[in-house]
Amino acid sequence: MTAYKIPVSVLVVIHTPDLQVLLLERANAPGFWQSVTGSLDAEDEPQRHTAVREVREETAIDATAPGHVLRDWGYTNRYEIYKRWISRYGPGVTHNTEHVFGLTIPAPLAPVLTEHLAYIWLPWRDAAEQCFSWSNAEAIRKLPEMLALPG
């Protein structure tokens, strides 16, 4: 039996206080740059847990380490799943709901890549332009206002 992906995911924008953003190049789609993303492992998995897990799996960065601040940005995107990846989902599933998080780390570091070909740190505006996904680009463009929010 095939285990289908749950059409609920997280997007985690990893950045520094001076708004340098980490982007990863997809191994299964060279030239496609993105932030950390990943689906819930179970329907009842807390989204924050998914964010911490995906950051660790894709970069080996510990989102809970001292000096790191993981924030739920409090908004979601709903989008049509790209045709190239639709087979990963159950019959009739066409859309995904993505919960957006930000992870502030003190300074750029070299991630350990397990699911990607390359990484790059870019100023936030340049990072937004580099993303293949509109929702990822939009999240990065919101970075300055998200950091200005209290708590």
18 pLDDT above the threshold of 70: yes
Q: Which domains does the chain have, with CATH numbers?
A: 8-148 (3.90.79.10)
**What is the arithmetic mean of pLDDT over 43-66?**
97
The pLDDT value given to residue 7: 95
Query: Residue type at 17?
Result: P
| CA pair distance 132, 11, nearest whole angstrom | 13
**What is the arithmetic mean of pLDDT over 55-68?**
97
The pLDDT value given to residue 128: 98
The 3-state DSSP class for residue 49 equals helix
Name every residue whose Cβ is closer than 8 Å to that of residue 61 and which is 6 or more positions away in sequence. Answer: 14, 55, 68, 103, 105, 109, 111
25 pLDDT above the threshold of 90: yes
Residue with tokens 């992906």: 5
149 vs 31, higher pLDDT:
31
Q: What does the pLDDT look like over 90-130, one tens digit per residue? A: 999 999 999 999 999 999 999 999 889 999 999 999 999 99
The pLDDT value given to residue 150: 58
Closest to 75 measured CA to CA, from 124, 1, 24, 145: 145
Q: How confident is the model at residue 1 (pLDDT cuts 50, 70, 90)?
A: very low
